[in-house]
Amino acid sequence: MYPYFKKKFIIPTVAAGFLFVGASFKDDFFEIAKQIEIFTTLFKAVNTNYVDETNPGDLMDKAIKSMLGSLDPYTVYFNEQDVVNFKINNTGEYTGIGAMIARKKDRLIVREPYKNYPADKAGLKAGDEIIQIGDVLIADFKDDASQLLKGTKNTKISIKYIRQGKTFTTELVLDEVDIKSVPFFGKIDEKTGYIVLAHFSRKASNEVKDALEKLKADGATQIVLDLRGNPGGLLNEAIDICNLFVPKNEVIVTTKSRIEKHNNTYKTNKEPVDTQIPLAILVNGRSASASEIVSGALQDLDRAVILGSRSFGKGLVQRSVDLTYGTQLKVTISRYYTPSGRCIQALDYAHKDKNGVAQKTDAKNFNAFKTRKGRTVYDGGGVLPDIELDEAKMSPITTALLKNDGIFDYATSYYYKNPNLGDKIPTVTDADYSTFKQYLKTNKITFDTDTEVALKNTLAAAKTEKIDETIAPEYQQLLNALEKSETTLLDKNQKEIRNLIQEELIKRYQYQEGLYQYYIKNNSEIKRAVNVLNNQTEYKTILKM
């Protein structure tokens, strides 16, 4: 527009920019070098002068974790063993026992044995408490005890475990375990295919493609893609899965960062499988990261109807950086944006409250964006479905029951009291639910809701200040009122809780495959998705087709 001024001032302006960037880099480098030198001298001084013997490794581990903890929960340090686990999660392949396990104090709890893998073949069941692996007592092993269950193929490992109060021993024979990204696919009815995508490993897009093509060959003319509970995974797999349903060269996601090399635009680069097949996607509050890229992108491109509840809201991208001695850093490098331009990150880690808790974006501050065909969508807190389903949302009392293993532990008890159901689908009756409530009370399973935790903290503070006797009557009155309220909530949310109990029981008797078979016949969210697909008028109206 003003060629004279452009020509005259463009060189000095660019030069000034380079001078600015150079000076900034130099200052940053000096500050980093300065802080490293301070830390190094401090670390050496502490370890050489402290009154008691120190463990430099433990001190450094705590220092690193404390430093990274001030950023976001996704920027983490991996020691050598952690690196192995991280690779397993991304590839979906490892040699081990084929079970989901979790540490609980001085025991490893078998959460779910996978059908026909070593743990299952050795007779382990969900709820078994492993107390010894080989000669190692779990109570004495403070590191990641799951590492004791890994090794080369055909390695034999003896374990000791507790089941329903009795101690047993068995021998595990390690084998290759292939964790499928698509644990199940099948037909809901004559024309509706159903694909479960559990996570985004390196095989995810190939597995979804294979399932899609087989379902189409079997007569499926519409698809339900289930992303509920999917925590995410590899970014490129999310793009390739979108590519199955949209043409080549579509923008799926862009990433933005203060560092130029991390600013990227990711497009589809393959020929799609089917750009016209009607598609419904299920999400919930545990669908995160890559799940949100897929659902958010296909929503923005008006390619799929999204159903369920608002997704988790993780709009941050991480990259692994190799460090010395086989360690790694997974660091947040950018934010991602869906095709309409929205970032769906829910928590702002740059702004935390006095307790160090990241603040959630207030709904009134959400920004509106437009899909390709002009539908309004919002940023600021996950992917909001086109059709919100109440049954997809989880009440606080139910969340507490999952967190404190109330449902899991009851299912374990139920299983051993009813061992001979076989292929029969367990039904949770009114009597069973009453037994469940009594089980919670008998076993003193606390809910640890925010209110309950706050009340316990109040008593702890009162004891410190030696005024607990003064407030004891009022405290007990509040505690009784809270317990009464929790009982009321157990009744109010009975349908939701009973469904979760039943799902947990089906897995005990029929593994995950049995649960998905149950889903395609009985799950209300899947039924609603099928209804939308069957009603082409509603489907096309939602997508403005």
320 a catalytic residue:
no
Pairing of strands 184-187, 358-360: unpaired
Pairwise CA distance, residues 258 & 24, whole Å? 13
DSSP percent split of the chain into helix, strand, coil, nearest 5: 45, 20, 35
- Bridge partners, residue 177, by sequence: 94
379 a catalytic residue:
no
C-alpha torsion 430→435→440→444, nearest 10: 150
Pairing of strands 305-308, 279-283: parallel
The alpha-helical segments, DSSP class H, found in 50-73 are: 56-69
Query: Which amino acid does the sequence have at 147?
Result: Q
Pairwise CA distance, residues 284 & 292, whole Å? 10
Considering the candidates 128, 240, 300, 409, report the single residue annotated as catalytic.
300
Considering the candidates 146, 181, 205, 289, report the single residue annotated as catalytic.
289
Q: What's the Cα-to-Cα distance from 536 to each of 273, 359, 374, 540, rounded to whole Å?
A: 21, 41, 19, 6
Residue 486: other Cβ atoms inside 10 A:
17
In sequence order, the 6+-apart residues with CB closer than 8 A to the CB of 415 are 125, 126, 127, 505, 508, 509
| DSSP 8-state class, residue 443 | T
Q: What's the Cα-to-Cα distance from 433 to each of 164, 403, 407, 423, 499, rounded to whole Å?
A: 21, 19, 11, 22, 11
Considering the candidates 125, 209, 314, 507, report the single residue annotated as catalytic.
314
Pairwise CA distance, residues 229 & 200, whole Å? 12
Distance of CA 503 to the CA centre of its chain: 19
Pairwise CA distance, residues 496 & 524, whole Å? 11
In sequence order, what E strands does 338-491 have? 347-352, 358-360, 368-370, 376-378, 387-388
Q: What's the Cα-to-Cα distance from 59 to each of 35, 51, 54, 68, 143, rounded to whole Å?
A: 18, 15, 8, 14, 15
495 a catalytic residue:
no
Q: Retrieve residue 417's tokens.
A: 């009291």
- Bridge partners, residue 308, by sequence: 283, 388
Asked if residue 295 lies in contact with residue 287, where contact means CB atoms within 8 angstroms, the answer is yes
Q: Provide the annotated active-site residues.
A: 289, 300, 314
